[in-house]
Amino acid sequence: MRTLKYALLGLINREPITGYDISKEFEKRIMANFWHAKHSQVYPELKRLLDEELISVELIIQGEKMEKKLYTITPKGHEEFVKWLSRDEPLGVTPKDVFRLRTFFTDFMSLSDYEKHLHSQLSKHNSKKESLEKSLTAFWNNIPQYGTKEFGDYAVLLGAVMREDSYIAWLYKCLDAIKTS
Amino acid sequence: MRTLKYALLGLINREPITGYDISKEFEKRIMANFWHAKHSQVYPELKRLLDEELISVELIIQGEKMEKKLYTITPKGHEEFVKWLSRDEPLGVTPKDVFRLRTFFTDFMSLSDYEKHLHSQLSKHNSKKESLEKSLTAFWNNIPQYGTKEFGDYAVLLGAVMREDSYIAWLYKCLDAIKTS
DNA sequence: GAGTACATGTAATTAGTTACATGATTGA
DNA sequence: TCAATCATGTAACTAATTACATGTACTC
């Protein structure tokens, strides 16, 4: 499906960007909430996009001698990206989840071990949710206009918070369910 | 991490099972809601578990000449599985989601295209949710006791329904957000 | 006899992770 | 000067998908 290709094209389409900054986006920024790639996957893919003439590159000298490569989308790349954007795809496989896998097999785990697991998950998902909610406050109650970069940021952040909320609610349901046992 | 290993051990731990039935579990049954593997991945992994002496195999003749292989867990396999069950792992990367990726880049998609996307997603997630809810009615309002196989089934099904609910709620929020644009 | 489900595998490719490898720049 | 961050890459490996390959059993 080469989804990474389109994730990169999307970022480069916004404005010229380096491989380093793309990697940061995947590892720390908003994008990390729905896509991920290490720099060791990003750099080879950039080379490939260059080969396919979907992007072009410009060498920038930073300071004394440090070099960085600024990638810019080509008309051909832009065209492919926009075409991909409007493509309708089937749902695809449900994401894997190790904790749900463990829950499925609780008939071989002690009640106290599972309870510990649940509390550990709750704490992890709660802190993730809190940090997401903090980012979301940037929008306060001002929903950005459709068509802006901010709309995308807002929509995916909202989705990430809701996903965490739902996961936390599920964990509480599991806690409830074991309390009667 | 070799999570597939433990997913297989967990299934074989319940009762002796064939590679074919394991694959069915991954592709069509409850497990598909949190783990997945094609038969081309399952068979080699079974061979590896056999090498590691975590499972054993028995050849069964079905009818005239058709053969199938029944895998059974060994004490060593059982021990490793139970140890894995109680392991606490860090949260891991957020699952990838192509539709969220598209949403992130809506600043290059027409409003009408995105609206079509949203309705398409709504219809897909709604039918998935409905089929999950149907499976959940098997438990009516009778929450299974902790420690039974049924508890695991119930908990992960509930989680799957809640995940779909939350996704659907997010899609409606996105629809709302574009309605004012 | 045809089609579907049962049953098991391998080969080739793509996707992703971990580890290796190097060097520059900035700020404390 | 030391640590963190900036910046770019490759090599080796693991995980997963798609395609190839074969044969049985059951039902219409």
A115 and A80 in a single domain? The answer is no
- The CA–C1' separation of A33 and C22, in angstroms, is 31
Please tell me which residue of chain B has the smallest CA distance to A30. Answer: B104
- Provide the pLDDT confidence category of residue A35 given band limits of 50, 70 and 90: very high
- Ranking A61-65, B58-62, B75-79, B131-135 by mean pLDDT, the lowest is A61-65
Q: CATH no. for residue A68? A: 1.10.10.10
Cβ distance of B174 and A155 shorter than 8 Å: yes
Contacts of B167 (CB under 8 A, 6+ apart): A163, B125
Instruction: Tell me, yes or no, whether B104 and B170 share the same domain.
Output: yes
Domain shared by A106 and A169, yes or no: yes
Whether B77 and B107 map to the same domain: the answer is no
DSSP H helix total and E strand total for chain B? 7, 2
Is B68 (CB) below 7 Å from strand D? Answer: no
List chain B residues with CB under 8 Å of A13.
105, 108
Tens of pLDDT along B126-176?
A: 999 999 999 999 998 799 999 999 999 999 999 999 999 999 999 999 999
Residue B54 dihedral angles phi and psi, to the nearest 5°: -90, -20
Q: Are residues A11 and A65 in the same domain?
A: yes
Among the candidates B22, B50, B85, a domain finishes at: B85
| Residue pLDDT, tens place only, B108-128 | 999 999 999 999 999 999 999
Token pair of A114, please?
């599972």
Q: Tell me if B112 is assigned to some domain.
A: yes
Q: Which residues of B touch A36 (CB under 8 A)?
A: 93-94, 96
pLDDT bracket for residue A141 (50, 70, 90): confident
Contact flag A114-B169 (C-beta cutoff 8 Å): no
Q: Name residue, tokens 């493509």.
A: A87
Strands A55-62 and A66-73, by their bridges, are antiparallel
State the total domains in chain A.
2
Q: What is the 3-state secondary structure (H, E, C) of A20-64?
A: HHHHHHHHCCHHHHCCCCCHHHHHHHHHHHHHCCCEEEEEEEECC
Q: Can you say whether the dihedral through the CA atoms of A26, A29, A30, A34 is positive or negative? A: positive
> Could you tell me if residue A114 is inside a domain?
yes
pLDDT band at B7 (very low <50, low <70, confident <90, very high): very high
> Rounded CA gap, A143 and A145, in Å?
7
Amino acid of residue A48:
R
Q: What is the mean pLDDT of residues A8-23?
A: 98
Range of the domain at B166: 98-179
Are A14 and A53 contained in the same domain?
Answer: yes
Interface size A-B, in CB pairs within 8 Å, comes to: 215
